[in-house]
Copies of this chain bind each other. A is one copy, B any other.
Amino acid sequence: MTSIFDQDLPQTPANYAAMSPLSFIERSAATYPQQLAVVHGTGPQALRRNWSELYRRCRQLASALSKSGIGKGDTVAVMLPNTPPMVEAHFGVPMAGAVLNTINTRLDPKMVAFMLDHGEAKVVIVDPEFAPTMSKALALRTSSAPIKVIDATDSLYTGSNQPIGDSEYENFIAGGDPDFAWSLPGNEWDAIALNYTSGTTGNPKGVVYHHRGAATAAISNILEWDMPKHAVYLWTLPMFHCNGWCFPWAVAARAGVNVCLRRIEAQAIFDAIREHGVDHYCGAPIVHSMLVNAPDSIKQGVPQGVKAMVAGAAPPASMIEGMERMGFNLLHVYGLTETYGPATVCAQHQNWGDLDIGERARLNARQGVTYHLERGIAVMDPDTMQPVPADGETMGEIMFRGNITMKGYLKNPKATQEALAGGWFHSGDLAVMDPDGYVKIKDRSKDIIISGGENISSIEVEDILYRHPDVLAAAVVARSDKRWGETPCAFIELKDGAQATPESIIEHCKKHMASFKVPRQVVFCELPKTSTGKIQKFELRKQAEALEAAAVQ
């Protein structure tokens, strides 16, 4: 029998609305129209817009896109640094019903072309710095579908400026209506963003985010950080990474300030912190260590209590100590593109502050516990789907479930089903569960190299190496690197009579991949293999670390 609580109590527009981060900007513009929303640059020339202005520009963008025929389920790709148009794209694109595909600005034309093709982008917005790459990518597309190209000029960009598009961004949005009557998605499960991840196998996968998840992730960020209204957030983390971990939407919910930043440089960061009163920023370990290791002269006058989030690798003790010396608070989070960025946090306890630095670093280096509004995290045996004992020793695979887990992989039902099999998202990362319920990664999913916060698929690099005429077999593994966290190290068996040198191999790579993916070291040797002929990367990782140790001595 139907319960009395399920009779005649339907969802109506009065008591049900789609969850969406688009509501956040609407409310902030209505409630705090005069509060600063975006600042770009420093000094009297800095560009400043308040929430009313930003909201109107986002509606203009949505309107202009609509007039261009963009609507529900269409893809709008952007290749932009952390500039004002990037902030606007996070609202204007979904307000038009479209899906935002932020493209990693470090990718090579071929990879960009793949994404434009696979994501079926109908519009692309590009910064002049990346126009040459985009221009080549457009030429490499296999699709013959029309694509509208918009150049987003930026007064802070000082390089060469060669427009490649049909129109310029300011002109384009000028044709839009600043009072455009956008509407929430018909379903909160509708897609809001598309983010390509380099997996372990071949082509990148297109991770689809929906409105419900984006809103939930953004609010979780606020809750975890106790992020107050009008927080001042510095854009050190690229917005093309998991939509900046959903912080464009979190900042909107807080009516905070987006402090834009074209380049991640210590001087520019400290200047922005001082001048704009930055109190929050995120980044890979390399960003924080760059600040810690910056000369004292440029750190003068930086305020205390700045909150920083780090992900991509565990913060070492020296980084935690350095951050403490600057008066910054460092919070360790963990997640994947598939989890909208952070979906666990190494939640700090009040008594940790009393521990010595070694113990503090050990505790803070863990990936931690479930993010606020994610349903759950577990370390499980992927075969039995049973949690491992919380003994800090038994390894299992990190699994996630809940509303901060992707909708799935675009046009890839097989990968989607595999990734979400058994009611959990399989991260591919191996970890243990500590007795206090905190997760600690023990081994990265073995093929991924994380360099400067970027994922590099070893298989992708190997594919290129195998194309070299002299290469018989190749394996690429991560090698520890003080600056980048990890860099790719290539082990290669040459064919008989081969003439290749390590330098010529590197030259070959540079022609075929983004420079950050190019192996920093190439070693010629016989590759260790299992009895069935599988290359033992485990052995190679040990060899790579030994190279490192030798280099240090």
Q: Which residue of chain B has the shortest Cβ distance to A411 in the bound complex?
A: B4
Nearest chain B CB to A389's CB is how many angstroms away?
A: 16
Nearest chain B CB to A129's CB is how many angstroms away?
A: 29
Q: How many monomers of this chain does the complex have?
A: 2
| Contact residues in B for A74 (Cβ distance below 8 Å) | 3
Contact digits for A413-426, partner B, Cβ 8 Å, 1 yes 0 no: 10010011111110
A9 touches B72 (CB 8 A): no
Given A31-B369, A403-B19, A437-B31, answer yes or no on A13-B423 (Cβ-Cβ < 8 Å): yes
Binds B, one of A218-226, A444-452, A494-502: A218-226
* Residues 144-200 of A at the B interface (beta carbon under 8 Å): 184, 189-191, 194
At the interface, yes or no: A228 with Cβ under 8 Å from chain B? yes
Contact digits for A1-18, partner B, Cβ 8 Å, 1 yes 0 no: 001111111111111110
B99 touches A5 (CB 8 A): yes
| Contact residues in B for A184 (Cβ distance below 8 Å) | 375
Best-buried of A4, A407, A422 by chain B (most CB within 10 Å): A4
Nearest chain B CB to A412's CB is how many angstroms away?
A: 8
B30 touches A437 (CB 8 A): yes
Nearest chain B CB to A285's CB is how many angstroms away?
A: 24
B424 touches A5 (CB 8 A): no
A-to-B contact residues, CB < 8 Å: 3-17, 19, 23, 27, 30-32, 72-74, 99, 120, 184, 189-191, 194, 208, 213, 219, 222-223, 226, 228-230, 253, 347, 349-350, 369-370, 372-373, 375, 400-403, 405-408, 410-413, 416, 419-425, 437
Extra A-B contacts (13), CB below 8 Å, given A9-B407, A226-B229: A3-B73, A3-B191, A6-B190, A8-B408, A9-B410, A14-B422, A15-B402, A15-B425, A16-B403, A27-B369, A31-B369, A31-B437, A32-B347
* 8 A-B pairs with least C-beta separation: A3-B73, A13-B423, A5-B191, A8-B413, A17-B375, A14-B420, A15-B405, A9-B408
A-B contact pairs, 26 of them (CB 8 A): A3-B73, A3-B191, A4-B73, A5-B191, A6-B191, A8-B408, A8-B412, A8-B413, A10-B408, A13-B424, A14-B400, A14-B421, A15-B402, A15-B405, A15-B406, A15-B408, A15-B420, A19-B373, A19-B403, A23-B373, A23-B375, A27-B369, A30-B370, A31-B437, A226-B228, A226-B229
